[in-house]
Structure 1
Amino acid sequence: MAPKQQRGAETAGRLLDAALQVYADAGEQGVTVSALTRASGVSLGSLYHHFGSVDGLMNALVVRWLGRLLTDLGAALGRSRTARTGIRALVRTYLAFIQEHPDAARLLHSSYADRLGMEQARQLRDAQEARLSPMAEWLRQYIDSGELAPLPLPLVEGLVMGPVVATARRWLSGVDDVDLDQAARILPDRIWRSLSA
């Protein structure tokens, strides 16, 4: 990478890191141009040059962390040898990600990310296709082999991720009645029962 490109990448990275910190400290309403430039030490012109707007920066931040989550999930599936161990790996990896990156997880489970997902579902899916396709293929092979119930792939995804996302959202909201370690022990087998052929 040329020095100018490297400086640009470092500037964009500082802005993304600052945006997550500002979001964590002040919520969506606190993510302003002045808060971002103050937290990152980057000029207003650089913010607009790299992201076009505060919304562009926040969209890039969601995509960044969604990519990291999907990479972790894909790696967990890659180490799994059966459908059952794969389901267990998905659940445990997702919940571990939530615990390890709570600020990013709050963003990914926020109304902001929900709106972005509804408005730009096709673009987000296209941007993450390289990470999503192997996971879909992994699930499909076990549906085809008969280890997983013969359901449409979106329904299988919903049965796997629905309980996990609901549990994560509850924990992230600060409700005191969710133990993610307990959820990581209990949910995989319960989800497996709903999916096994």
Structure 2
Amino acid sequence: MSRKQQRGEVTVERVLDAALDLYAREGEAGLTVSALTRASGVSTGSVYHHFGNLHGVVGALAARWLGHLLGELSEALTAHQEARPGIEAVVRTYLDFVRTEPAAARLLHSPFADREGEARAAEIRDNQEARISPMERWLNAHRAAGALVDLPTPVIEALVLGPVVALARRHLTLGDVDLEAAAHRLPDLVWRSVAP
């Protein structure tokens, strides 16, 4: 990698780190190009060069954290040979991510991320294929073996992640959910929804 490419990567990382900090403190409204250049020390021209516009910054930031979350979920699921511990690990891992990375979780559960997900679903899936495929193979194998309910994989994914995402959104918006307490009960309840 050339020095110019290395500098470019450093610039991108600085902008994304600053963007998440701004998003955590100010929300989407506080994330402006001028605030971003002040916080990151990167020039306006560099922001536009690397990201195209502010929308590109937020999209790249969401993609970065989605990849991180999917990586953790994939690792948690595929680390288990048996279905129940794998499903329960996914639930606990997701809740732990929301608890330990609240700014990133807030971004991933934001209206912006929802709009991006709808508009660019195929592209996002292609970009995250390396993280998604092992989870799909694991689910398909356990379903075929009779260790999971005989439903299409997307339905199983919805049964597992739907309640977790809803709980995460409520925690992030209202703050009235104790994630640690939920992590004790929810894995078993989710497992029951996909048990054979």
State the TM-score bracket (shorter-chain normalisation).
over 0.9
SS in 2 for 1:147: coil
Aligned position for 1:161: 161
Cα distance in 2 for partners of 1:133, 1:157 equals 13
The residue type paired with residue 38 of structure 1 is R
Aligned position for 1:188: 187
Aligned position for 1:44: 44
Q: Does 1:143 align with 2:123?
A: no
SS in 2 for 1:173: helix
CA RMSD of aligned residues (A): 0.9
Cα distance in 1 for partners of 2:119, 2:48 equals 22
State the TM-score, normalized to the length of structure 2: 0.97
Aligned position for 1:92: 92
State the TM-score, normalized to the length of structure 1: 0.97
Cα distance in 2 for partners of 1:7, 1:162 equals 40
The residue type paired with residue 99 of structure 1 is R
Q: Structure 1: which 5+ residue stretches go unaligned?
A: none
Q: Does the aligned pair in 1 maintain the 2:78–2:134 contact within 8 Å?
A: no
The residue type paired with residue 106 of structure 2 is R
The residue type paired with residue 182 of structure 1 is A
Residues 12-23 of structure 1 aligned to structure 2 (within 5 Å)? 12-23=12-23
- Per-residue displacement from partner, 1:116-161 (whole Å, max 9, x unpaired)? 1111111111110111011111111110000101101111000000
The residue type paired with residue 142 of structure 1 is H
Aligned-pair identity in percent equals 58
Cα distance in 1 for partners of 2:170, 2:29 equals 22
Cα distance in 1 for partners of 2:175, 2:103 equals 16
SS in 1 for 2:48: helix
The residue type paired with residue 32 of structure 1 is T
Residues 38-77 of structure 1 aligned to structure 2 (within 5 Å)? 38-77=38-77
Cα distance in 2 for partners of 1:185, 1:25 equals 30
Q: Does the aligned pair in 1 maintain the 2:70–2:132 contact within 8 Å?
A: yes
In terms of mean alpha carbon deviation, does 86-95 or 73-82 score higher?
A: 73-82
Q: Structure 2: which 5+ residue stretches go unaligned?
A: none
Q: Does the aligned pair in 1 maintain the 2:91–2:183 contact within 8 Å?
A: yes
Spell out structure 1 runs of 4+ moving beyond 2 A. Answer: none
Cα distance in 1 for partners of 2:61, 2:15 equals 9
Cα distance in 1 for partners of 2:55, 2:175 equals 29
User: How many residues are paired up?
Assistant: 196
Aligned position for 2:106: 106
Cα distance in 2 for partners of 1:30, 1:116 equals 19
Kindly state the Cα deviation for residue 30 of structure 1 after the two structures are TM-superposed: 1.4
The residue type paired with residue 125 of structure 1 is R
The residue type paired with residue 46 of structure 1 is S
Kindly state the Cα deviation for residue 62 of structure 1 after the two structures are TM-superposed: 0.4
Cα distance in 1 for partners of 2:175, 2:12 equals 34
